[in-house]
Amino acid sequence: MSEKNHVICASCGSINNVPAARMADNPVCGKCKKPVMTGQPMELNEAGFNRFVSKSDQPLLVDFWAPWCGPCKMMAPVFTQAATQLEPQFRLIKVNTEVEQNLAGRLRIQSIPTLAIYKNGQEVIRQPGAMGLGDLTSWARSHA
């Protein structure tokens, strides 16, 4: 991990420079004064997703889901719980593929849920299908 990390504020989207040693201290945004990380997954549109992939120094764990998908609904509370365990190492992001059809098409998301990890602007790995909490957190950490 570099000495300072670009961390994107969950509230206003500003990029904050957070020293590596302060990442776990619930850093506050320099612009809006709210916590930059909330311990909650963030629902992002295509522009927000692009911003995180290109600007965040934290690896991203993304849940591509849709409202009509039963396994996605079962996955949702697991993903929320995983956020409390994986931040600040990761940021957890949700993309509603029914709303963000352009993005899902561009990324060739073929089944949902699909879980994917992005790091340094690149997709590292993706895994179709729901996962339990223990499998999800250990899978994510093994690709951090």
Catalytically active residues are 69, 72
Q: Site residues for Zn ion, window 16-35 (CB under 5 A)?
A: 29, 31-32
Phi, psi of 42, deg, nearest 5: -105, 130
Q: How far is the CB of 74 from Zn ion (least distance, A)?
A: 32
Instruction: Tell me the C-alpha distance between 95 and 41, whole Å.
Output: 10
Choosing from 5, 7, 8, 9, the residue that interacts with Zn ion (CB under 5 A) is 9
Nearer to Zn ion (CB atom), residue 31 or residue 141: 31
Helices (H), the chain: 46-55, 70-86, 101-106, 133-142
Nearer to Zn ion (CB atom), residue 8 or residue 72: 8
The SS3 assignment for 124 reads strand
Among the listed ranges 9-17, 64-72, 87-95, 115-123, the one in contact with Zn ion (CB under 5 A) is 9-17
Nearer to Zn ion (CB atom), residue 58 or residue 97: 58
Tokens of 3: 């000495």
**Any residues with CB less than 8 A from the CB of 58 and at least 6 apart, and which?**
5, 7, 88, 89, 90, 91
Q: How far is the CB of 26 from Zn ion (least distance, A)?
A: 13
Residue entry with tokens 């340094």: 120
Q: How far is the CB of 28 from Zn ion (least distance, A)?
A: 8
14 DSSP β-pair partners = none
Over the window 67 to 106, marking each residue x when it contacts Zn ion by CB under 5 A and - when it does not, the resulting string is ----------------------------------------
Chain residues in the site for Zn ion (CB under 5 A): 9, 11-12, 14, 29, 31-32
